[in-house]
Structure 1
């Protein structure tokens, strides 16, 4: 192969060092190029209106090869200033010819073009591509978060409707609707009392069992409130205490807070870039096991022991009352029903739980005995109290049904409302919090949608810039290869790792 046909391969990252090491330009080229740039800035202030020149000067860094094209264009636009000797009288042409001369002195243009090519390949083009990728990622993440916000907003609204339905309200005016629901509380307690009466057989079995287990005491007192409900129903606390109905009932008033403000909020929303944290301080509606002993808002004026020892009737257990004016009036907690007053209601639940535990234990013992288990059984010496597993399971089912009836979330929430007006605010705030969070999710979705659209616009704007920069870089690389080839008798020159590798 002839030497002229041997290609010259130059790595793009080492192109500037290569042209300096081959003495095509000097190491002082930066100082020389400063003078050239000053001359270009001065000459560019006075340019003719020409599409070719406008295209060259738009969106790119002017280099030596652009200057050559500008001179060719000026040869057309300034042709009328040309003398017989071929010189141009136009100052524009003189300025740009001077720029070209300064560029060609010590081959300064090679060093500058090499630097521009290296910068475009290593930084400019990858930087624009990275920005485009970033905007694409922002669009993807924003779209994903938008879908999450829509889903979360719908979940909050669905939960709001679910909790409202659970309470039996529409949710338009929560406090007033909850107050109106209190009229259904007596019917719910009536239903609980009817369920409690179905446990009569189980309570009698328990009492009989204890009577046989405790020697000499066949009439054992147990399950006092449950037994009272079975025999008398859900009477007033007054009747439960004194054994006779009151002449008049003065029910305590139910205080309900003022109607709540509209559920919309004007608070400023600052979503930031971080994940939204909704906190853990929301008041959830009670849906688990009931603990009725936490709220006692009604005055217990009759809780002290009454001493009638100063009258002769005290020995007979008679309560002396004033003819239907004072002694027979049920006030405050005594005007409440047994199930409506939280202390007697707790006693009622305790009786049910006690009876449930007994039946479960008896059922396990009988099942173990039927399998000839060697475990201890209380019934081995009391055959008269034995029941079949089917009977015990039926009794247990009735007890569990009564427990479920008294543990209904709606009943429990209404009972809390009956006893504490502040609980109405807690329930209302808990429900409204879901609506507020749904509104925040929708506002956040709007912000994310705007961010996504902005990123898409930025990406669209960068695409033409990237395309144009790649084209100009390819042209610059081709011009460099051509000019370097001329210096080596037109040997083929390949700049490797250039724009074609991106």
Structure 2
């Protein structure tokens, strides 16, 4: 192979050092390029209107090879200023010819072109690509987060509807709707009491079983509230305590804070909280009253009783009994057994006790049956209280049905509202919190959508810039290879690791 055909391979990262070490350029070229850049900035201020010049001056850094193309264009636009000796009288042409002359002195253009190529390959093009990849990743992430926001917002709204349905309201005006539902509590308690009657057999079985186990206790009591409701229904607490229905019931007034409370300056604000006098009952001490020593009047034994006004006052007489305020059920005593939280909790305790007993007894009977098949048994049998597993399962089913009836979310929430009006605010805030979270998620989705659109716009703006920069860098690399080849008798020159590798 002839020496002229041997290619010259130059690594892009070492291109500038290579041309300086071969003495094609001087080390002082940066000082010379400063003057050239000033000349170019001055010449650009006065340029003719031409599509080719506009294309050259936009979107790239002007170098020596661009100046050569500008001169070729000026030869057309400034042709009328050319003299018979081939010189141009146009100042534009003189300025750009001066720029080219300064570039060619000491091959400053070659050093600058090598530096531009190295910078484009190492920094500019990878930087734009990295920005485009970042904006693409932002779009991908925001699209994913937007989908999550839509799903979460819908989940919050579905949760709101589900909770509203559990409470039996539409959810448009939570406080007033919940307050209106309080009228359905008596009917719901009536249903629970009806379910409790189905546990009569189970309660009797439990009492009979305990009677045989505990023989010394003649006055055995178990499941007192459950047994009472089975026999008498959901009566008032007054009747449960005193054994007779009240003459009159004065139910406590429920006060629920309105949606938009209105207050006046003349009115005294006592606050919206109900006064809690405690739930314990007042017990009066009984005993003989010591009236002291009473001195009788001399003629006291001769006094007669006038019964003439008895008939007129008969209607106003109220018989008062010990511990009972005239037969009037007030405050907690006016509530029903299931409406009063203490007796309702006792009712729940009785059901839980009965459930635990039935489950344990069912396990014991099943274990006894298994041991009998194997020929031995360690369990004591009480023939009078023995029940088949199917009967125990039926009893247990009735107990669980009663528990489910009284533990319904709607009934429990209404019972809490009945006891504490402030609970309405907590329920309303709890429900509305789901809607507030849904609105917040929607706001986040709007922000994410705006961010995604901004990233897409930036990506669309950078794509043409990247494409143009790659094209100009390829042209610059080809010009550098061509100029270096001329210095070595047109030997082929290859700049490796250049723009073609990106």
The TM-score, its normalising length taken from structure 1, stands at: 0.88
Instruction: Name which of structure 1's ranges 208-217 and 468-477 shifts more when overlaid on structure 2.
Output: 208-217
Larger Rg: 2
Q: Give how far 1:326 is off.
A: 4.3
Counterparts of 1:43-62 in structure 2, within 5 Å, are 43-62=43-62
1-side partners of 2:108 and 2:10: how far apart?
18
Q: Give the alignment partner of residue 305 of structure 1, picking from 283, 291, 298.
A: 283
Q: Give how far 1:392 is off.
A: 1.2
2-side partners of 1:299 and 1:177: how far apart?
28
Instruction: Name which of structure 1's ranges 446-455 and 150-159 shifts more when overlaid on structure 2.
Output: 446-455
2-side partners of 1:298 and 1:36: how far apart?
93
2-side partners of 1:376 and 1:428: how far apart?
57
CA RMSD of aligned residues (A): 2.0
2-side partners of 1:148 and 1:220: how far apart?
62
Q: Give how far 1:93 is off.
A: 1.3
Corresponding residue for 1:238?
238
SS at match of 1:256: coil
Alpha-carbon displacement from aligned partner over 1:385-441 (angstroms, at most 9, x marks no partner):
111111111111111111111111111100000001111111000000011111111
Is residue 403 from structure 1 mapped to residue 403 from structure 2 by the alignment?
A: yes
Corresponding residue for 1:348?
347
SS at match of 2:220: coil
Corresponding residue for 1:220?
220
1-side partners of 2:340 and 2:377: how far apart?
42
Q: Give how far 1:216 is off.
A: 3.9
Is residue 141 from structure 1 mapped to residue 119 from structure 2 by the alignment?
A: no
1-side partners of 2:227 and 2:453: how far apart?
71
Is residue 35 from structure 1 mapped to residue 13 from structure 2 by the alignment?
A: no
SS at match of 1:371: helix
2-side partners of 1:387 and 1:321: how far apart?
49
Counterparts of 1:186-335 in structure 2, within 5 Å, are 186-259=186-259, 299-300=277-278, 303-310=281-288, 321=320, 326-335=325-334
1-side partners of 2:359 and 2:59: how far apart?
87
Corresponding residue for 1:87?
87
2-side partners of 1:469 and 1:397: how far apart?
80
The TM-score, its normalising length taken from structure 2, stands at: 0.88
2-side partners of 1:188 and 1:392: how far apart?
27
Q: Give how far 1:126 is off.
A: 0.9
SS at match of 1:372: helix
1-side partners of 2:383 and 2:467: how far apart?
98
Alpha-carbon displacement from aligned partner over 1:367-398 (angstroms, at most 9, x marks no partner):
11112277754x43x32111111111111111
Q: Give how far 1:85 is off.
A: 2.0
Q: Give how far 1:299 is off.
A: 3.6
Q: Give how far 1:83 is off.
A: 2.0
Alpha-carbon displacement from aligned partner over 1:55-105 (angstroms, at most 9, x marks no partner):
111111110001111111112222222222222222211111111111011
SS at match of 1:245: coil
Contact 1:299/1:333 (CA < 8 Å) preserved in 2?
A: no
1-side partners of 2:475 and 2:217: how far apart?
113
Corresponding residue for 2:455?
455
Corresponding residue for 1:370?
369
Alpha-carbon displacement from aligned partner over 1:205-253 (angstroms, at most 9, x marks no partner):
1111111222244552111101110110000000000000000000001
2-side partners of 1:435 and 1:241: how far apart?
46
1-side partners of 2:388 and 2:284: how far apart?
46
2-side partners of 1:187 and 1:103: how far apart?
101
Query: Which residues of structure 1 form unaligned runs of 5+?
Result: 262-295, 312-318
Alpha-carbon displacement from aligned partner over 1:321-380 (angstroms, at most 9, x marks no partner):
279x94111000000001100001111111111111111121111111112277754x43
1-side partners of 2:280 and 2:69: how far apart?
109
Corresponding residue for 1:65?
65
SS at match of 1:203: helix
2-side partners of 1:260 and 1:364: how far apart?
57
SS at match of 1:27: coil
Contact 1:25/1:110 (CA < 8 Å) preserved in 2?
A: yes
Corresponding residue for 2:163?
163
2-side partners of 1:233 and 1:71: how far apart?
111
Q: Give how far 1:159 is off.
A: 0.5
Query: Which residues of structure 2 form unaligned runs of 5+?
Result: 262-273, 290-317
Corresponding residue for 1:428?
428
Contact 1:175/1:260 (CA < 8 Å) preserved in 2?
A: no
Note closer, same or farther for the CA distance 1:86–1:216 as it changes in structure 2 (3 Å cut).
closer
Contact 1:298/1:332 (CA < 8 Å) preserved in 2?
A: no
2-side partners of 1:375 and 1:70: how far apart?
113
Contact 1:297/1:420 (CA < 8 Å) preserved in 2?
A: no
Alpha-carbon displacement from aligned partner over 1:156-194 (angstroms, at most 9, x marks no partner):
111100000000000000000000000111111111111
Instruction: Name which of structure 1's ranges 94-103 and 76-85 shifts more when overlaid on structure 2.
Output: 76-85
Corresponding residue for 1:419?
419
